Amino acid sequence: MNQSRQRLEQIFQTQVQTLSLTLQFSTVRNYRYVAHRFLGYLRGAFPRVQRLSQFRRDPHMLGWFRWLCHQDPPLSNTTREEHLLCLRRLLDDLALQGHPLRPGLILHEDFPVRPQYLPRPLSPEDDQRLQEELRRTDNLYSNALLLTRLTGIRIGECIHLPLDCLRHIGPGQWALHVPLGKLHTERLVPLDSEGLRLLERIREWRARASPARLAKSEGLLLPRVGGRFALFQTLRPVLADAAKRAGCADTMPITPHRLRHTWASDLLRRGISLPALMQLMGHKDIRMTLRYLKVTQPDLQREFYKASQNTMQPYRFSHTRRLYRHRRSPRNPPGTGGHTPPFGDVPTPALQ
């Protein structure tokens, strides 16, 4: 490998290492994989490209997009979108650092159409059954799952919660500090008395862990035996078993991320605004939050119908009062014209 080519790969490798300071291991691995594939494509298709300043949208980027479309087996639209997102992030970061890159190498229209994805919350009945079963189980893992349901945090964020994640933000007000996560954001999620109880219970179970587990989990709320992925693989079957014991009627697999979907949909039903929900969920784009509105649309239709009925009742009642008073006028005194009040013998005080 010549010196220029080696320098080009070194630039990408250094940038990926920089991302590893704030992103999860699996995310960094994706960036490294995409950079490796892109540079491998350039090496085979455009061996004379040795510097970042030589990158062009056409033919280098457009050629890579076509190359991704012609893979065998074919890549899904979601996978190709992830490749473009990773490469665009790397190129944007390198440009911000002063590297001579042309703007507009990857444009919005380059991204493939993404399949429509809607959240899959549990029904209120299954949600209640599952929460009750997790409370009955009352161990480290069941309480961790309950915490994700109560706060809407991602399971990866739950696994990485620091031991000092509780924040006092005002008189009688507490919040869960969620560190940098999937979308490179951190946030504070309000906690009620049940959330405080869960955190205290998790700490009690943590204190019972072996010294070896605690040594591997220094500074983390949830102790672990192996790595992060091992803990994730433990929590998934714990939730599935609890759902089975609870008798949940949902036919789809009940995964930890569906607890987050359920939490968000429940808040929308209770009337939370979309901007507030967006902040609580750690979304960067309101369109991500709008997907939950589609899920709860049937509930919104029912609420709208109920509100419409409540609006009509005063009108009907007022109309009845005017009609009855007209029939009680001197020209039609009760008992002389054979008229009866509307709705039968309604007592006069009730209508006045």
Give the pLDDT confidence score for residue 131 in this predicted structure.
97
Does the structure show a pLDDT above 60 at 12? yes
Does the structure show a pLDDT above 60 at 223? yes
Separation CA 17–CA 35 (nearest Å):
12
Give the pLDDT confidence score for residue 242 in this predicted structure.
97
Q: How confident is the model at residue 311 (pLDDT cuts 50, 70, 90)?
A: low
Across the chain, what does the average pLDDT equal?
85
Neighbours of 89 (CB within 10 A): 16
Give the pLDDT confidence score for residue 305 in this predicted structure.
76
Separation CA 233–CA 39 (nearest Å):
33
Query: Would you put residue 282 in left (φ > 0), alpha (ψ -120 to 50) or beta?
Result: left
Q: How confident is the model at residue 351 (pLDDT cuts 50, 70, 90)?
A: very low
pTM of the full predicted structure? 0.60
- Please count the residues of the chain: 352
Does the structure show a pLDDT above 60 at 221? yes
The mean per-residue pLDDT over the stretch 83-90 comes to: 96
- With pLDDT > 70 as the criterion, what percentage of the chain qualifies? 82
Does the structure show a pLDDT above 80 at 2? no
Contact at 8 Å (CB) between 292 and 280?
no
Q: How confident is the model at residue 95 (pLDDT cuts 50, 70, 90)?
A: very high
The mean per-residue pLDDT over the stretch 122-129 comes to: 96
* Axis-axis angle for helices 62-69, 25-45 (nearest 10): 110
Q: How confident is the model at residue 304 (pLDDT cuts 50, 70, 90)?
A: confident
* Kind and range of the H or E run holding 193: helix 193-207
The mean per-residue pLDDT over the stretch 6-30 comes to: 91
Question: 13 exposed, middle or buried (CB, 10 Å; 0-12, 13-18, 19+)?
Answer: middle
Q: Which runs of E-coded beta strand occur in 107-251?
A: 166-170, 173-178, 187-191
- With pLDDT > 90 as the criterion, what percentage of the chain qualifies? 64
Contact at 8 Å (CB) between 203 and 166?
no
Tell me whether strands 187-191 and 166-170 are parallel, antiparallel or unpaired: unpaired
Does the structure show a pLDDT above 90 at 47? yes
